[in-house]
A and B are shown apart, each in its own frame.
Chain A
């Protein structure tokens, strides 16, 4: 869903054809696509916990490590969105 939302934002940025549209839609588009891919990794491992036998704890721990990477990536992406929000606030205040 995140990957598709990112792809839609790419279309949106392309439709804008200006640097401002690329700024507002292009950057979140890349962020969504990256987050989508990063979140998919732990999902795959969690699925394996239920579909395989004998290595549940080991696979669960790998999923936990992947989940940590997903949260760390998510944090970077939100920081990018925070920077964009600060830029928007500056623009609204006329700076």
Chain B
């Protein structure tokens, strides 16, 4: 792979001992109709053991790397570091793209220059049957405040600009779950988010026991993700910027609740000064919402 003619998309798929699903996932990318000049697929095999031979491995667009039981984020960062593409696409090994996904996402991303472009997706069970409604996208522009308030956009339905990904500092390896949302938090500060309404991927859901994901840690991670945002120097400014673009009183209320929650946690850990500064920011944010019932609903967690 040489510089010059730039590759458009690098798909990064970390995998751990799920080769049946993996083949489906890789093939769904190879069948998107992009040539070897436009697409590369980096499979990071984290099991430390060689993969069984499969037809997709002989495709010139595919590259397999082996790591030895590192966290998923480390594997993804590795794929990104070795990538050449203008956009990065992080797919999990048990999820797969639908036909035409890349062309829709690429069109939108190239048109708007957004740092993060995403589409709709379905949740499916092990037999590929759809569970529930299609998850439709609904936000664009500056989304930091929403990302902090819990907006979850999976990496598998998103194209992320490579330069922004590195500027934001890659996936945070401390995050054992919710890595995508935490990354969105940091990337949303660097530019706009865009969406396309087409359904781009099927997400397999339900079975967690074969996964290397540490679900048991997920409650701690939620708090950690918030703290990581709170200590960003631009945090309050960026929240106000988002609300200046589009005011959402219920989100404002939710953020005030998060700030107060953080204050309570810090008080418990005897970090009184940090707790005080969180309360200060909570009050500052609350001032513009006090008169609206929907703000109070958000604050109480009933929105």
A interacts with B: no
